[in-house]
A and B are shown apart, each in its own frame.
Chain A
Amino acid sequence: MSGSAGPAAAIEVVNASKAFGDVIAVSDLTFSVGPGVTALLGPNGAGKSTLFRMLCGLTPPTAGTVRVLGADARHDREVRGRIGMVSQQDALFDRLKALEFVTVAASTQGVTDGPGAARRALELVQLDPDESRPLSAFSKGMRQRVKVAAAVVHDPEVLVLDEPLSGLDPVQRRRMTELFHGLGAEGRCVLVSSHVLEEVARLGSRVVVIAQGRLVASGDYRELRALMDDRPRRIRVGVDSPRAFAAALVESGTAVGVSVGASSLIVDTLDAVALSRELAPLALRLRARLERVIPMDDDLESVFRYLVERR
């Protein structure tokens, strides 16, 4: 993956923007993705699904270009057969059984042995092809797996998977992640979106991060993680003697900033681990009652805010 399109790029997005009326969902995105698993990370509403819809041709970009395998999926029929998509929408043809649904997916992709391919795809996601219940009776996790089976049934070169792990239990998440890695190792381009940092950590080392429709970061996940570890952290400490606590933390150098309230203080620190180790002994030394320690910016939104602000 790189900032500019390379010869091996399966997905190329160049200055792509998408607006819905006055709302700009995606703004001037440029990146490319090659074979292997790449995670698209972004909070809810970041524009991930809109980007995926543009990649698959479901909606055209307002400006810029979006290419999959060198073609525009909206207008190029041949390339549509080389893409497998899991959309974020939960809806399926609910009256069909899983085997019927995936067979329809195979048939519409021109697979000659539709039922056979559908059976293999369902077994790949560990669903019983002979399940007699209709899809309407399936759990959220089972429906997600059916969607993945329908996306891989025609052996596509590019997989665009929008939050495919949502609704899965931990065991299924792990198995599905292994499946994606396997598909990536075979040379397919697998682009997986998520708004959960820990999921992305398991998905792979390459990430594209977007927030508010803009590219925030792209590259190796470990580099991104290091960026997040280096950022100042803000922690609320509930204590019955906040002034004394604040003075001691500033004196020790653990806190780079402190604001004191009536029964708590808010600490800015560059080393959250050291701070957490220091709090209990400090409370003992000051004979203070430590009531609670609450990280204030551990959520994904704050990570994105930090990344956006430091650009």
Chain B
Amino acid sequence: MNTIVRRQPVSSGQVFSISYRVLIREISTVGRLVGTGVIGVVAILIGWAVGAGSDSDDRIEVAAQVVSNMGLVLVVPIVSLVFASVVLSEMNEDGTLVYLWLRPMDRAPIVLGGLAAALSLVLPLIVIPVVGAALAAGADSATALAALLSSLLGGVVYGAVFGLLSLVVKRSILWGMAYILIWEGVVASIGTIPSRLSLRGYTRSILTNVSGMDLGFDPVSTPVCIVVLVAVAVVATVLASVRLNHLDVA
């Protein structure tokens, strides 16, 4: 160790860049990519089958229903959960988080790098199947655009929320599934207030508003949806940064 090692402060941009590069390689396992890829292919096939089995007059509405009931209910939250819930928590469980945590640098960019890594995988894996399923079912351009916007925003907000969840609880996959299936699947359908407390209500509202289809519920306006979803994503990311600072690191 006779060579002089020159050092300088690590900028937030460097922390983000390093975290992103390391984390995207860590979470992009073959199993996860194949599993979520299969979900996407199945979604497109179901969209095609449902569209093929419906009257040509109803196909646009059917396509919107496919996006709403399959894309936004299952594909978007589940694929987001698979990647976002492991990005930092898995590192803490296996002991590799220390290689980013015990460093003379800000920890907030680590969370941002992790979120960006998760979203880099999640967004293609949800947007392509959801829009693909819509088109396969017979969607027009407005419905396809609605599918694009709602799945894109959904992916970002679910990614941020599940990323936070993974730093707060153990077995975050199970908690995330409980949220998707029990809260959003059952409780949120009981009334307006629970519906306003579920992310799905906002993504479906965007789909309804942009496509112009009546999906059988009272949608929230698009600007409100965007503000709420972006705010939830920002708050979740900030809380995840705070949580990372106070984490017990293995």
Contact = CB atoms under 8 A, between A and B. Distances in A.
Contacts of B8: 110, 112
Interface stretch (B43-51, B102-110, B145-153): B102-110
Contact of A109 (B95, B98, B104, B106): B104
B18 A105 contact: no
A150 interface: yes
B95 A89 contact: yes
Contact of B103 (A87, A108, A117): A108
B14 interface: yes
B27 to A, nearest CB: 10
Interface string B1-31: 1011111111000110010001001100000
Contacts of B105: 77, 108, 110
Contacts of B96: 89, 91-93
Nearest to B99: A105
Contacts of A78: 104
A77 B104 contact: yes
A83 B102 contact: yes
A172 interface: no
A87 B95 CA distance: 8
Interface string A105-125: 101111111000100100010
Interface stretch (A8-16, A54-62, A163-171, A245-253): A54-62
B249 interface: yes
B150 to A, nearest CB: 33
Contacts of A53: 249
A47 to B, nearest CB: 15
Given A58-B101, A87-B98, A89-B250, A95 B15 contact: no
B103 A93 contact: no
A37 interface: no
Interface in A134-158: 150, 152-155
A5 interface: no
A58 B26 CA distance: 22
B98 A81 contact: no
A161 to B, nearest CB: 13
A81 B99 contact: no
B100 interface: yes
Describe B's contact surface by its main secondary structure: loop
Contacts of A77: 104-106
A112 B25 contact: no
Q: Chain A interface secondary structure, helix, strand, loop or mixed? A: loop
A118 B102 CA distance: 18
A107 B14 contact: yes
A63 B159 CA distance: 37
Contacts of B5: 111, 117, 153-155
Given A56-B102, A109-B104, A183-B1, A81 B7 contact: yes
B55 interface: no
Contacts of B99: 92-93, 104-105, 108, 150
A234 interface: no
Interface in A56-92: 56-59, 73, 77-78, 80-81, 83, 85, 87, 89-92
B248 A58 contact: yes
B173 to A, nearest CB: 19
Contact of A58 (B7, B15, B106, B249): B249
Given A56-B102, A111-B6, 6 more contacts: A58-B249, A77-B104, A89-B250, A108-B103, A111-B5, A112-B7
Q: Which 5 A-B pairs have the closest CB atoms?
A: A89-B95, A81-B104, A91-B94, A58-B249, A155-B5
6 contacts: A81-B7, A83-B102, A108-B15, A110-B7, A110-B105, A117-B5
Interface of A: 53, 56-59, 73, 77-78, 80-81, 83, 85, 87, 89-93, 95-96, 104-105, 107-113, 117, 120, 124, 150, 152-155, 182-183, 186
